[in-house]
Structure 1
Amino acid sequence: MTQSLYDQDFYAWTQEQANYLRAGKFELLDRENLGEEIESLGKQQRQELRHRLGILLGHLLKWHYQPSARSKNWKYTIREQRREIERHLRDNPSLKPYLSEAIALGYEDGLDLIGQETPLDPETLPQACLFAEEQIFTQALNW
């Protein structure tokens, strides 16, 4: 059994598929693998949103529960993640209906971050996101 270019050299396969598309040679496209790869790209956008929300929510939890340990690093991580999430949603507006689910999943990751980076026990914290959307994305961090 011979391996397809997709299995042998993924990069070469991507270049070949792009050339076929540009040339209008649709009959030569590897439709099955191309479809899977396009779906995978969409899933990556959802994962990116969840990942950034996990970092943001973890730092908001640290900020909320450890006021005496607040640092410049935490503040700038919160600012960076807010900005990157805003950009990500602007670039991918169809993710907005997924936002509440992404917040819930990101919050779980934020609890894990608390467990890894602080002496706090995430099991003792609320297991559902305690922040309203406005707090997550716009609330000022007062020193």
Structure 2
Amino acid sequence: MNPIDSLYETDFYAWLQEQVKYLRLGKLDHLDHENLIEELESLGKQQRQELRNRLGILLGHLLKWHYQSEGRSKSWIYTIREQRQEIQRHLRENPSLKSYVREAIEIGYGKGLNLVGRETPLDPRILPQSCPFSEFQIFDESIEEH
């Protein structure tokens, strides 16, 4: 095993700092190209995953809000607000993800159904199996008024 691979495997943070140092110094031939490429690709996947996860929480709470109106609470309102704010922040910081929102909603909706199944007596199988909310409804901040 080469020393760079060893550091990558044994102390990721030290490996990362070393890669940053080499980049700053322009010592591109010292870089651990293979692992660096893998980590950069992983960062992109994490950004998509964060969007899907936050949409899952948001959509699950919107489903609870819509289908279990007797259980509406201040906590649900704040969870919905927080997720909307964080999704909007995430999209501002990663504008190229906007083209992925529709697909992320579809995937996140499945996560939302699971949340409903975990947190309520509702059976997710009787709820719509594809997202019943438009993108406007998902991000409409006036939910507390309904």
Normalised TM-score (structure 1): 0.97
Match of 1:76 in 2: 78
Unaligned runs of 5+ in 2: none
2:88 corresponds to 1:66: no
Identity of aligned residues (%): 69
1:20 aligned residue (14, 22, 36): 22
Match of 1:40 in 2: 42
- Residue 55 of structure 2 contacts residue 83 of structure 2 at CA under 8 Å; is this kept in 1? yes
Deviation per residue, 1:14-43 (Å, 9 max, x gap):
010000000100000000000000000010
| SS class of match (2:83) | helix
Match of 2:132 in 1: 130
Q: Distance in 2 between matches of 1:86 and 1:138?
A: 12
2:104 corresponds to 1:102: yes
1:29 aligned residue (28, 31, 44): 31
Compute the displacement of 1:68 (Å).
Answer: 1.1
Q: Distance in 1 between matches of 2:68 and 2:118?
A: 14
Compute the displacement of 1:139 (Å).
Answer: 4.8
How many residues are matched?
143
| SS class of match (1:4) | helix
Compute the displacement of 1:8 (Å).
Answer: 1.9
Unaligned runs of 5+ in 1: none
Deviation per residue, 1:81-101 (Å, 9 max, x gap):
000000000000000111000
Normalised TM-score (structure 2): 0.95
Q: Distance in 1 between matches of 2:50 and 2:22?
A: 29
Match of 1:88 in 2: 90
Q: Distance in 1 between matches of 2:106 and 2:118?
A: 19
2:7 corresponds to 1:9: no
Q: Distance in 2 between matches of 1:75 and 1:111?
A: 18
| SS class of match (1:127) | coil
Q: Distance in 2 between matches of 1:28 and 1:139?
A: 50
